[in-house]
């Protein structure tokens, strides 16, 4: 096996080890009882929110693509998003779906740079909007979460704000590169430099519109989490969801496990445990988020992917 395959195997192993540790330290019977007694109506509502969220994210992506002269129908972008969820669950990396989105979008644009920049910018705007919501929830409900979680949220938001200002202000970016050696060395890193170059391609109105759509999407996303929590009667209020969801979303970007399994469960156990959620309920919560947010959407993506393949076969035969 090559290096990449070994890394993927390692991610699967990490997930298995983490899950084994978690299940060995909680009451598995209580976990199963919690899952069996989840209210199906709230779970169905959460699935609706997840599907609605995919459509909103596709609309945000459409705004960015239109701004650089790549018009793609909303239905097509929605389908590509669902296919991305499919590959997130097939590949031992949370970025597998983004790579697949780039591949699918290449069918609509001859410029590879269009696909790369739009996916990078789309991802950043979504995360920054989520952090902005977390900050507002925190400042208006101080004390809803432990101080450590609160201060971490503030630091992450400020970091994203500084990064965002640099991403949209080319003169400032260029000036810092010329005057600060450490900043120049950091931005010489290929991924970081590509991210800056990606943002500089988009006009501010398009970025502003996309950010506003990101706010709407993340309200829907947080609502999905809340509905799943309601299904388990978890003692969590909306302000606490608004602060904790962004943290878990950031942790899942670190590609050390398969589809976030193990990392998600432990993050939920630690974070929700600090506000009074029992370990078994927190782990059940995490598993249901994975089922609704990844597996169900991945299955929809699988159906779309198969239908596309069948259509291509018919087209070739004709």
Mind listing the pLDDT tens digit for each residue in 142-165? 988 999 999 999 999 898 888 788
Please check whether residue 22 is in contact with residue 265, taking contact to mean a CB–CB distance below 8 angstroms.
Answer: yes
Proportion of the chain above pLDDT 70, given as a percent: 89
Tokens 């393949």 locate to 309
Look at residue 266 and tell me whether its pLDDT is greater than 90.
Answer: yes
Residue 87 predicted with pLDDT over 90: no
pTM (whole model) above 0.85: yes
Label residue 173 by pLDDT band (50, 70, 90).
confident
Q: What is the pLDDT of residues 57-66, one digit of tens each?
A: 999 999 988 9
In the chain, pLDDT over 90 holds for what percent of residues?
46
- Listed range (47-51, 97-101, 227-231, 275-279) with the worst mean pLDDT: 97-101
For the chain, the residue count is 318
Residue 23 C-alpha from the chain's centroid: 25
Angle between helices 204-231 and 40-67 (to 10 degrees): 170
Angstrom distances, CA of residue 245 to CA of 3, 213, 267, 279: 33, 18, 10, 17
> What letters, b where the CB count within 10 A reaches 16 and e where it falls short, cover 230-245?
bbbebebeebbbbbbb
For residue 175, pLDDT over 50 is answered with yes
Please determine, for residue 20, whether its predicted confidence score (pLDDT) is greater than 90. Answer: yes
Residue 265 pLDDT: 95
Mean pLDDT of 20-37: 95
Enumerate the domain spans of the chain.
3-317
């Amino acid at each position: 096996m090559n290096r990449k395959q070994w890394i993927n195997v390692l991610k699967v192993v990490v997930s298995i080890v983490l899950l084994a540790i978690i299940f060995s330290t909680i009451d598995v019977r209580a976990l199963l009882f919690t899952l069996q007694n989840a209210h199906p109506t709230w779970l169905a509502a959460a699935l609706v929110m997840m599907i609605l969220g995919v459509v909103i994210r596709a609309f945000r992506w459409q705004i960015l693509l239109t701004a650089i002269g790549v018009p793609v129908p909303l239905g097509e972008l929605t389908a590509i998003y669902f296919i991305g969820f499919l590959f997130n669950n097939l590949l031992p990396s949370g970025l597998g779906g983004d790579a697949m989105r780039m591949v699918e979008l290449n069918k609509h644009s001859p410029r590879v740079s269009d696909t790369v920049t739009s996916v990078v910018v789309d991802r950043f705007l979504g995360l920054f909007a989520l952090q902005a919501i977390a900050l507002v929830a925190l400042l208006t409900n101080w004390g809803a979460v432990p101080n450590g979680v609160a201060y971490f949220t503030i630091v992450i938001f400020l970091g994203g704000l500084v990064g965002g200002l640099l991403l949209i202000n080319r003169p400032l970016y260029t000036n810092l590169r010329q005057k600060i050696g450490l900043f120049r060395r950091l931005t010489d890193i290929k991924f970081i430099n590509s991210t800056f170059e990606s943002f500089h391609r988009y006009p501010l109105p398009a970025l502003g519109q996309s950010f506003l759509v990101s706010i709407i999407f993340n309200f829907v996303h947080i609502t999905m989490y809340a509905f799943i929590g309601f299904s388990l009667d978890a003692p969590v209020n909306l302000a606490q969801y608004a602060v904790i969801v962004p943290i878990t979303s950031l942790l899942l970007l670190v590609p050390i496990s398969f589809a976030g399994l193990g990392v998600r469960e432990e993050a939920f156990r630690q974070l929700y445990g600090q506000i009074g959620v029992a370990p078994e309920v927190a782990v059940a919560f995490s598993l249901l988020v994975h089922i609704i947010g990844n597996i169900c959407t991945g299955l929809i993506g699988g159906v779309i992917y198969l239908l596309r393949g069948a259509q291509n076969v018919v087209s070739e035969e004709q």
